[in-house]
Amino acid sequence: MKPTKVSKLLWSFPKRFLRVSHQLGRVVRRDVVGMTPEQIRVSLDGLARLYPGHFNVVFERTSLNGVPCAKLYSRHGSRTLTGQRSPVLVLVHGGGFAFGSALTHRAFASALVEELQCEVWMPEYRLAPEYPFPAPLEDVIIALDGLSAQSDDVWVLGDSAGGNLALSAALEWMNRTGKRIEGVGLFSPWLDLRSNSNSNLQSHTDVSPFERLDMVEYASHYLQGTGAEDPMVAPLDQALNNLSHVYIEASKAEYLHPDYQLACDVFQSQGIKFVAREETRALHGWQLFPDVLPEAKRSVQAFSSYVQAVRN
């Protein structure tokens, strides 16, 4: 008998079961256990150690201008053509500004290394609520300073809250330095932190362990008195003419899909070159499991193809 793919098993459960499971998870996490961001970090990092990504990719702890980072690169060297430079990717992890790490995003980064034969750097930026805005953003900007001295082909990527930091940091770094970021990759980005955002006005609780109350809480951890309309928090409210190339994707089934739609509208209105891609039923954060979920593998391949097309 041919084994059933894990991705199919994920969707073979009755909708009622998924809805109840997510609701139970929220109640246990928030009301019974009352997990703090620190506890969530420890739990996620512990689970992430079970999924280290591709064995051909080296995971090295280092730093850039004092910011702790993970550097990932091919164990056996690049297989690109002689003389052809490789892009350098800065992957800003998501996690509501309060959790997530290089460990949780290691498999995703490893898949990008293998597909593009490049280096991927992940800044371990300071996390809220201990370090609210602008500390996480400044850490990413400092890391960009360090990498810009090594390469003129830097791409900045981010998923979820990391998408906000990636786009905000790229814009702010270019404004400060007058230099250029080659491109930006946004994966299910959280770009509107207002409590009444279009994402928060919709309900995706049946297919998500997070809901509006979580989003409002995590936004407040990060902002702590800074307005959600601040240009460095709301990058879509800025002039985006410095952006060269943008890739963005989201799933129609996830709660941040309205942020994706808003970004596409803004990019189009400002004449920004961008490629937009949608999944139909993928759950938020699917990109983190490229060896398990076919939709994650599609994301890695789609983004890599975009980068290669821009560079050729």
Res 27 pLDDT > 80: no
Per-residue pLDDT tens digits for 239-269: 999 999 999 999 998 889 999 999 999 999 9
User: So what's the pLDDT on residue 223?
Assistant: 98
Say how far residue 96 (Cα) sits from the centre of its chain.
10
Residue 34 pLDDT more than 90? no
87-97, pLDDT tens digit by residue? 999 999 999 99
Worst-scoring range by mean pLDDT, 23-32, 39-48, 219-228? 23-32
pLDDT at 204: 66
Work out the average pLDDT over 33-42: 77
Q: What is the CATH number of the domain that holds 106?
A: 3.40.50.1820
Q: Which two tokens stand for residue 301?
A: 């391949």
Q: 13 in a domain, yes or no? A: yes
- DSSP code per residue over the chain: -PPPPHHHHHTTS-HHHHHHHHHHHHHIIIIIS---HHHHHHHHHHHHTT----TTEEEEEEEETTEEEEEEEETT---SPTTPPPPEEEEE--STTTS--TTTTHHHHHHHHHHHT-EEEEE----TTTS-TTHHHHHHHHHHHHHHTT-S-EEEEEETHHHHHHHHHHHHHHHHH-----EEEEES------TT-TTTTS--GGG-S--HHHHHHHHHHHHTTS-TT-TTT-GGGS--TT---EEEEEETTSTTHHHHHHHHHHHHHTT--EEEEEESSPPTTGGG-TTT-HHHHHHHHHHHHHHHHHH-
Residue 300 covered by a domain: yes
Domain for residue 2, yes or no?
no
Average pLDDT over residues 190-206: 86
Is residue 17 domain-resident? yes
What pLDDT does residue 51 have? 87
Residue 33 has pLDDT above 70, yes or no: no
Residue 294 inside a domain? The answer is yes
Q: Residue 220: pLDDT band by 50, 70, 90 thresholds?
A: very high
Q: Tell if the pTM clears 0.85, that is, is over it.
A: yes
Q: Which of 7-21, 147-161, 176-190 has the lowest mean pLDDT?
A: 7-21
Residue 81 lies in a domain: no
Quick one: average pLDDT of 23-46?
A: 69
What is the span of the domain harbouring residue 15?
A: 7-75+86-311
pLDDT at 17: 47
Q: Which H, E and C letters describe 141-167, residue by residue? A: HHHHHHHHCCCCCEEEEEECHHHHHHH
56-77 residue pLDDT tens: 999 999 999 999 999 999 988 7
Q: Classify residue 36: in a domain, yes or no.
A: yes
Residue 1 lies in a domain: no
What is the pLDDT confidence band of residue 25, given thresholds at 50, 70 and 90?
A: low
pLDDT of residue 281: 86
pLDDT score recorded for residue 24: 52
Count of structural domains within the chain: 1
